[in-house]
Structure 1
Amino acid sequence: MDHLTKLENKSIHILREAYANFKDLGMLWSIGKDSTVLLHLARKTFFGHVPFPLIHIDTHYKIPEMIAYRDNYAKQWKLDMIYGENTEALKSRMTFPNGNCSRLECCRLLKAEALKSTLNATGTRYRLNHEIGEYEIEKNPRPFTGVIVGVRSDEEGSRSKERYFSPRDHKNDWHIGDQPPEFWNQYKTDFAPGTHVRIHPLLDWTELDLWEYIQRENIPMVSLYFDKGEGKRYRSLGCWTCTQPVESTARTVEEIVEELRSGKFSNIAERSGRAQDKEDGGGLEELRKDGYM
């Protein structure tokens, strides 16, 4: 069994454990490479069907191509697609692009707070109606007790402190020192009532693992990851106001794999193009304690 197949099998095992143990389960889909690989794994795990909703947090500042990609594949693959937002912050223009708060505060409001209100069903949620091909306000939304996330431990410092099954309190706050140990393939899935659990099937994957798997499985990716003749491409995706491309001439998955194997980015953080990381001193631990993905 090769390295990628071992990673795939472990991720599939964790997905099945999550589905077996959490009643109200959802999966975050940010449209990036990690969560799109996770979506592919979920479809493979359940034989082409995804038996839980996909959740996207729409800041309304995502690169337009990302939203078009989301809706295209949600319709094509018949996904149960939900998106949430921080309506109050958007209406009051309490955002960084409007000049009314810092990048980190903008992330807290449009991502962390929006995520928490979407997961606990206190905020407005929109669900794709496949019959008309449009999103409608979800009626009688239920809180999610577990959510599957495409977090990788090598992507950013605070993510390395996660568990495969990582509990949050009833407010979705993360207490890093109060996490269960995970030895070998033994995972804690029995938590006290009111506990919200984040599940991380990709925790052991690396950036190179992802792209080699994308190559092997022929997974469609949003074209922002590829150079379009300008000598630049995105390595990590987010809001257009805070995300910058990297210098790269890779136009295909194969070229990205070769670029990563060469060590070109060995001394450059994967999220180096994310301005909010720099504002936070290179880490996102405080934001993630408060619910950030």
Structure 2
Amino acid sequence: MNHLDKLEAQSVYILREAYREFKNICMLWSIGKDSTVLLWLARKAFFGHVPIPLVHIDTHYKIPEMIHYRDELARQWRLTMIYGENKEALDGGRTFPDGKTDRISCCQALKTEALKNTLSGEWSRYILDLETGQYRPDGNREKYTGVIVGVRADEEGSRSKERYFSPRDQENDWDVGDQPPEFWNQFKTDFAPGTHIRIHPLLDWTELNVWEYIQREKIPVTSLYFDQGEGKRYRSLGCYPCTLPVESPARNVEEIIEELRSGKFANIAERSGRAQDKDDGGGLETLRRGGYM
């Protein structure tokens, strides 16, 4: 087995363990490359079928191409596609683009609060009708007790402190200092009742590994990652008011891999174009302790 084979096998093992051990779990799909690789791995783990609902937290400030890509792939792969939102904050204009709050507070409202209340079932969920392509209210409001997430340890500082199976309290709050040890593929999966679990099958993958795997498996990703002739592309995707493209002429997966191997971005953080990271002191730990993805 080569390195990608080993990463794939480990991730498939984690996905199957999560599905076996935890009831009523979901998988977060941010529409980016990492969570799309995670989705691809889930299809491999369960023989072409994804038995876990996909959840997207829609801030309504995502780049439009992202939403189009999400719904097209969901229909093509016949996914159980659900989205949640913070309708109160959006209707009240309690957002950074509306000029009524800062970036961090906007993320807390549109992402963290929306995520918590979508997972708990306290706020409305919307499910994609695969036949019509339209979303309708989801009648299932049962709480999701665990979430599979495409977090990588190398992506930014706070994520390097994660575990494959990471416990949170009932409010989704993360106690960084109280994480179970994980040695020699021995993972703790028996947690106290009421514990919320985050599962991270991509934890040991790197940005280069992800693109190499996308190339090998021919995984479809959004065109936003590629230069469309302006010498710029997105390296990390998020809300358009807070996400900037990087200078790069890479037009395809092969050219992105060459950039990563040559060291063009060796000293530039992958999320350097994400403004909210800078507002959080250069990382995401403040947000993530409170339940952020």
| TM-score (structure 1 length as normaliser) | 0.99
SS at match of 1:130: coil
SS in 1 for 2:242: coil
Mark the CA change 1:188 to 1:275 in structure 2 (over 3 Å): closer, same or farther. same
* 1:47 corresponding residue in structure 2: 47
Map residues 58-207 of structure 1 onto 2, 5 A cutoff: 58-207=58-207
Counterpart CA distance in 1 for 2:131 and 2:246 is 40
**Does 121-130 or 158-167 show the bigger shift?**
121-130
In structure 2, what is the equivalent of residue 275 of structure 1?
Answer: 275
Equivalent position amino acid for 1:286 in 2: T
Counterpart of 1:192 in 2: which secondary structure? coil
Q: Is the counterpart of residue 20 in structure 1 residue 20 in structure 2?
A: yes
Specify every segment of 5 or more residues in structure 1 that has no aligned partner in the other structure, as ranges.
none
SS in 2 for 1:17: helix
2:254 aligns with 254
Count of equivalent residues:
293
Counterpart of 1:145, as a letter, is T
- Describe the SS at the equivalent of 1:241: helix
Whole-angstrom distance in 2 between the partners of 1:203 and 1:70: 23
> For residues 16 and 165 of structure 2, what CA distance do their matches in structure 1 show?
13
- Give the deviation of 1:141 after TM superposition: 1.2
Distance 2:171 2:138 in 1: 22
Asked whether 1:218 is paired with 2:204, we answer no
Once residues 141 and 132 of structure 1 are traced to their aligned partners in structure 2, the CA distance between those partners, rounded to angstroms, is: 22
Cα distance in 2 for partners of 1:265, 1:133 equals 38
Q: Which residue of 2 aligns with 1:3?
A: 3
Letter in 1 for 2:205: W
Matched, 1:265 2:228: no
In 2, the alpha carbon distance for the partners of 1:90 and 1:45 equals 37
Distance 2:133 2:258 in 1: 39
Q: CA RMSD in A?
A: 0.6
Tell me the distance in 2 between the aligned counterparts of 1:118 and 1:289: 18
Give me the whole-angstrom Cα distance separating, in 2, the residues matched to 1:179 and 1:190: 13
SS in 1 for 2:179: coil
Q: 2:237 maps to what in 1?
A: 237
TM-superposed CA distance for 1:280, in Å, is 1.0
| Equivalent residues of 2:55, 2:82 under 8 A apart | yes
Paired with 1:99 and 1:60, the residues of 2 have a C-alpha distance of 16
Structure 1 residue 132: deviation in Å?
2.6
Counterpart of 1:167 in 2: which secondary structure?
strand
1:130 Cα deviation (Å)? 1.9
1:156 maps to a residue whose letter is E
* SS of residue paired to 1:166: strand
> CA–CA distance in 2 between the matches of 1:264 and 1:130?
41
Are 2:287 and 1:284 equivalent residues in the alignment?
A: no
Q: SS in structure 2 opposite 1:136?
A: strand
Structure 1 residue ranges (4+ consecutive) displaced by more than 4 angstroms after TM superposition: none
Q: CA deviation at 1:140?
A: 3.5
- Report % sequence identity: 73
State how far apart, in whole Å, the 1-side matches of 2:103 and 2:263 are. 30
Cα deviation code 1:155-196 (max 9, x no counterpart): 000000000000000011111111111111000111111111
Contact 2:225 2:235 in 1 (8 A): yes
Structure 2 SS opposite 1:56: strand
Inter-partner Cα distance in structure 1 for 2:34 and 2:15: 15
SS in 1 for 2:6: helix
Alpha-carbon distance, 1:131 to partner: 3.1
Q: What secondary structure is seen at the aligned counterpart in 1 of 2:240?
A: coil
**Quick one: distance in 1 between partners of 2:261 and 2:45?**
28
Distance 1:98 1:184 in 2: 49
Q: Distance in 2 between matches of 1:253 and 1:69?
A: 17
- Residue 138 of structure 1, CA deviation: 1.1
Q: For residue 134 of structure 1, report the CA deviation from its aligned partner.
A: 1.1
SS at match of 1:155: coil
Tell me the TM-score normalised to structure 2 length.
0.99
Give the C-alpha shift of residue 129 in structure 1. 1.6
